[in-house]
């Protein structure tokens, strides 16, 4: 009887052990399955992120190529036509007392301004020029054009030793600056803007643009994607592609300050490189 009880206890222990092993095996399989599923989800998310980045990069490259082509066409065709008209007007056989003299002079002034504005436009659109002259000078040139219109009071400063970014970073940073200025001109009702470029000793490039306009609710913009507009999305998309971060500070009635930060370790201070 005692021997039989021992065998029963033995079988019970074996059954418990086998049950625990089976439960452990099932738990392990479930854990490995979940971990594998999580890894697959992460991999899919990573591949989707890479795909989205490449699609966005391709779209922006096509956009830059289109802008470059348009700029060249404007310069070669419209610019030359305006120059021919200007030359033709300058050789008109009009005597000093002719009633059309004053009209011709006014037309020449308008034509000169149109040629200058067209030249400024093509320069800001042409990507090769942005890379050639550098980010700071490209921004300085753009702000000078805005200042000449009298729409905004402009304050521009560069702090630190300027760094020459690679072509894509320079172009993207400049387009981000253009988009910010475009938003200020279209929506902010600002009378003044401060643009600062800072090349810090910590190998961090900072571009800060601050206006004294009407401002907006940042959280509302973030929550309402449609209210953010294409321009703001474009700025964040370009920043993501070059590894930059953007901080937006704004309140209704208190203006807006947008700060872009980009590490530039490994970039060169030599503009010829």
Domains of the chain by range and CATH?
152-273 (3.30.565.10)
Determine the pLDDT at residue 211. Answer: 95
Rounded average pLDDT per 10-residue block, the chain, 273 residues: 69 82 86 82 72 62 68 68 72 71 77 74 71 87 86 92 82 89 88 94 91 86 58 81 90 92 69 45
Residue 208 is given by DSSP the state: E
Torsion sign (Cα): 15, 19, 25, 29: positive
Strand 204-211 vs strand 245-250: parallel, antiparallel, or unpaired? unpaired
Determine the pLDDT at residue 1. Answer: 59
Q: CA distances (Å), 204 to each of 19, 162, 178, 211, 244, in order?
A: 60, 11, 21, 23, 10
């Amino acid at each position: 009887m005692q021997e039989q009880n021992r065998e029963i206890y033995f079988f019970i222990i074996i059954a418990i052990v086998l049950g625990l092993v089976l439960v452990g095996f099932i738990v392990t399989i479930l854990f490995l399955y979940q971990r594998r599923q999580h890894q697959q989800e992460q991999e899919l998310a990573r591949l989707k992120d890479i795909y989205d980045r490449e699609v966005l990069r391709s779209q922006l490259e096509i956009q830059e190529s289109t802008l470059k082509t348009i700029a060249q066409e404007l310069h070669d065709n419209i610019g030359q036509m305006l120059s021919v008209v200007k030359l033709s007007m300058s050789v008109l056989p009009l005597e000093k007392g002719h009633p059309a003299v004053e009209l011709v002079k006014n037309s020449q002034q308008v034509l000169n301004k149109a040629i200058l504005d067209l030249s400024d436009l093509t320069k800001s659109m042409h990507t090769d020029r942005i890379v050639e002259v550098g980010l700071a000078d490209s921004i300085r040139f753009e702000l000078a054009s805005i200042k000449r219109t009298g729409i905004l009071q402009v304050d521009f400063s560069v702090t630190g030793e300027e760094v020459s970014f690679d072509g894509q970073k320079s172009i993207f940073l400049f387009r981000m600056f253009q988009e910010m200025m475009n938003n200020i001109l279209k929506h902010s009702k600002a009378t003044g803007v401060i643009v600062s470029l800072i090349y810090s000793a910590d190998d961090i490039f900072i571009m800060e643009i601050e206006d004294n306009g009407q401002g907006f609710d940042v959280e509302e913009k973030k929550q309402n994607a449609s209210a953010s507009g294409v321009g703001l999305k474009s700025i964040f998309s370009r920043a993501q592609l070059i590894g930059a971060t953007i901080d937006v500070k704004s309140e209704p009635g208190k203006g807006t300050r947008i700060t872009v930060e980009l590490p530039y370790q490994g970039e060169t201070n030599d503009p010829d490189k």
